[in-house]
Chains A and B, each alone.
Chain A
Amino acid sequence: MGRQKNEPPPALKSPLETSSQERARAANLGSVAEGRLKLYDPQADNVRKFLDLLGRKINRPLALSFAACVHCGLCAESCHYALARPDDPTMTPAYKADQIRRIFKRHKDWTGRIIPWWVHARYPRDDADLNLLKNIVFGACSACRRCTLNCPMGVDTAALVRFTRGLLTELGIVPEGIFNVNRDQWETGNQMAVTEEDYLETIAWVREELESETGIRGIEIPVDRTDCDFLYVINPREIKFDPRSLSDAARIFHLAGEKWTLPKRGWDMTNYGLFSGDDSLGAYIAENVYQAAAWLRSGRIVISECGHGYRSTRWEGYNWAGRDQTVPTESVVITLVRYLRQGRIKVDSAKNPEPVTFHDSCNIARSGDLVEEPRWVLRRVCADFREMEPHGRENFCCTGGGGLLSTPEYRSLRLEAAKIKAEQLQATGAKLVCTMCHNCVDGLADVIKHYKLNLKVVQILELVSRALASGNVQS
């Protein structure tokens, strides 16, 4: 039997999985006991709680995005889900946003309160409705903000999606994978639950490997050094799965004669508060980084290559934490631009002869400020750099954004939507796709594997490190 009209794809029928929540309750974790990590309570009046939260947390930009949509349907042209499933009207951004917009209208809007059927205003009936909402906002949107930039009315659908995620997270109605990472960040201060011992051991190991690999004596990866030019904050993936990234950074910093340090605490710049919509988690993690910089009296904060980490630490984190930014906070790509401009490192583009294309992370290009900078670096370190189309602010999501890589239940739908990205990648004819985001590395690798593309994912630090000319000596 074919799919019923307007019926959501099977991935969006996932039930609420709470076994991790049960374990967290049984273990009486500190974050649970202190009420920071919220658990699902089937006995509670969750619909009422949801409405109360909505009324309390909504702000002016969100209210305007709720009110301003004219249902023109133009946003369907910009969403990779809608483009990859042209026969499925439930994938248009406006439809997804309408699932929360109808609650807003019923709860807050005049017409929706008086004649709800006239504007399709409706309250959720029960927890099953809230679970369906969870599947839509966590499973059918990577919060890439492509539709936002293509809405003539200025409706920020991605912001509405994040807002809804935040309300559901407060009720524990959240995909299990997202819950697990939230828990780890609350409990350990980093999203992969890396212990301090593992962290320090890995750093020592990376340093030794780097020294023996390059033959450069005296390379350091300092931890908790005070009064440095900058504090370097990283993605836990660099400790757990991909130490090459940290190693490349350490090598480049050493050759540039940089005075830098990692912190012992507050080193994770990733932030699941962005994905889960939990501003208090967002504030807690970002604040760890800011406090580390203050305590170590660092001149600036440098963020390694990570899209959502950059957005969270450079932009949203200060707002979540209610802290005015006093320390310059930049992406490591800006640091690389500075080194190249000042001649502190020398590069030879012939060392990267393969055709390279660049994938813009949504969180950096559409919610941040860096589009030209990574290209400026790549043109210096690669012999054959080529754009993919569209690119920059208009690039398509790697499909792993918005925490979707932590939600296996939505993987089939995500990879179906990835058809758009796969076609985009293939058309470049490149052999390497470079990105300045660890999350995009995994998202793109999944797309490449699924669509059997002949491509490898690399990052900017890796290409710069490879391009380092032999004339580099520590300055």
Chain B
Amino acid sequence: MSPFLRVLENEVQIVALLFLASVYVFRILWILRFEPTRERTRPAGSKREGIAYSLLSISMPWSMEALRKKPGFYVQFLIFHLGVTAAIAATFIIPYRPELFRTKAVVLLFQIIIGAAFVVGLMRLRRRLRNPAVRLISTPDDYFSLILMILYFAAAVLAVPNRFPTAEWTLVLFFGLTAFFLVYVPFSKISHYLYYPFARYVLGKTLGHRGVFPIKEAKEETAFGPPEK
């Protein structure tokens, strides 16, 4: 392994990661600067249940009509984010547990997951370009972030075999992109995962308190009738 790759895999990543973490701290402080709201009414439901339901709703695609209508969208979501997780895991495995990628089956598994995410990325890009409603709301940041992800998946597929003696450029590309990502992410739409728990938490808190979350079916009444108010 060249000294350049060694530094790129280690020191550069750690610095970029520290940068990401410190910008995230500022992002969180920025969110917390906005006044919280205070609920003064008596509850009709449970805040705690509402928050739990809201945070877990992403694992319950049946709870959203839009996802029931478009199950393919949800499958794409799963594959894409599994790919992200696998690619991030690879950035730690390659420098710290390289022996894992000496097992061919593990490499193949990672390549399949990340490769599928790459295909989903292309499908998403096509949708963003072709669907007039999505195109209209898309910003340069949306396109750039998505293209970057697609490139990143491609680089990860090439990098996971970890063949630095024969194909070091794949690792340079992968870790170079990773470092760029870590610096760019907090300023881009990719930082949505930072907002996600906060946004779902506040929505779940309000709607849980009101008894809207967890979503109840309007169903045949039980012997006990509707809940007591």
Contacts and interface: CB of A to CB of B under 8 A. Distances in A.
Interface residues of B, number: 64
A373 B224 CA distance: 12
Given A60-B34, A65-B199, A330-B229, A393 B40 contact: no
Interface string A174-218: 000000000000000000000000000000000000000000000
Interface in A327-347: 328-330, 334, 337, 341
Interface stretch (A113-121, A240-248, A431-439): A113-121
Contacts, number: 183
Contacts of A5: 132
A150 B61 CA distance: 10
Nearest to B39: A319
A404 B65 CA distance: 25
A156 interface: yes
A92 B203 contact: no
Given A63-B34, A71-B139, A154 B40 contact: no
Interface stretch (A73-81, A229-237, A445-453): A73-81
B215 interface: yes
A384 to B, nearest CB: 15
Contact of A63 (B31, B77, B141): B31
A372 B219 contact: yes
Interface SS, A side: helix
A368 interface: yes
Contacts of B202: 60-61, 64, 154
Interface string A88-132: 011010110010000000000011000001111000000000000
Given A64-B199, A341-B225, A119 B141 contact: yes
Q: What 8 A-B pairs have minimum CB-CB distances, sorted nearest first?
A: A392-B218, A369-B211, A369-B44, A73-B134, A89-B133, A154-B200, A68-B195, A150-B66
Interface of A: 5-6, 58-65, 67-68, 70-78, 82, 87, 89-90, 92, 94-95, 98, 110-111, 117-120, 148-150, 152-156, 314-315, 318-319, 322-325, 328-330, 334, 337, 341, 360, 365-369, 371-373, 375-376, 379, 387, 390-394
13 contacts: A67-B199, A70-B189, A82-B133, A90-B136, A94-B137, A95-B133, A110-B30, A152-B77, A319-B40, A366-B212, A368-B212, A369-B45, A371-B216
Interface of B: 30-32, 34-42, 44-45, 54, 57-58, 64-67, 69-70, 73, 77, 127, 131-142, 187-189, 192, 195-196, 198-200, 202-204, 206, 210-212, 215-219, 221, 225-227, 229
